[in-house]
Chain A
């Protein structure tokens, strides 16, 4: 039983394209997150949603748009992809005041 799932796991695309990454959690958690892990393995928060509402939006280009159709899903849409967007993107979820459970990550490669 997958707790936090992401699709796709790998994504290779050309500069300028638009792509989406989907995330679903079956843990019943209220809060979901998107993190970016760069080539040096550094992990940084991008967005946080609580019960479908945007709570945190770090300094992320507006080409990145999260969408939460319900509290079990948090998708990430990226417009006009750039070389610097190449990274691993992690979705996570958490119950109130507890640790976060991570998805398997999506490795995005922009050519």
Chain B
């Protein structure tokens, strides 16, 4: 079974600064995706970024980027130029790939507060 660990229950960052959220995972699968989802107070789950395990290049989406270390099974999220709207719970998630769709396995989340 796969597990996802987020070791930082809470973090805070000053507006316009950079913050990194940690995530490690455990799997024996070779084909999988990793995701970061954001859950603001509105409780909507919003996809922030995704990474295919077969790709060596780290994914980026505007101010969001990941550091994917496949051998170390590490998948951290870097948020640059933090904005007040980034305040949310952030969940790291794993999805194995097979012939059909499989559900997401989530970490316990990191609550990020952006301070003005």
Contact = CB atoms under 8 A, between A and B. Distances in A.
Interface of A: 30-31, 33, 35, 40-45, 48, 50, 55-56, 88, 90, 92, 94, 96-102, 104-105, 107
Nearest to A105: B43
A45 B104 contact: yes
Interface in B77-107: 89, 91, 95, 97, 100-106
Q: Chain B: interface residue count, which band?
A: 20 to 34
Contacts of B39: 41
A48 B101 CA distance: 9
Interface string B27-69: 0000001010101001111010010000000000000000000
A5 B101 CA distance: 20
A100 to B, nearest CB: 6
Interface of B: 33, 35, 37, 39, 42-45, 47, 50, 89, 91, 95, 97, 100-106, 108-109
Nearest to A43: B106
A99 B43 contact: no
Contacts of A97: 33, 97, 101
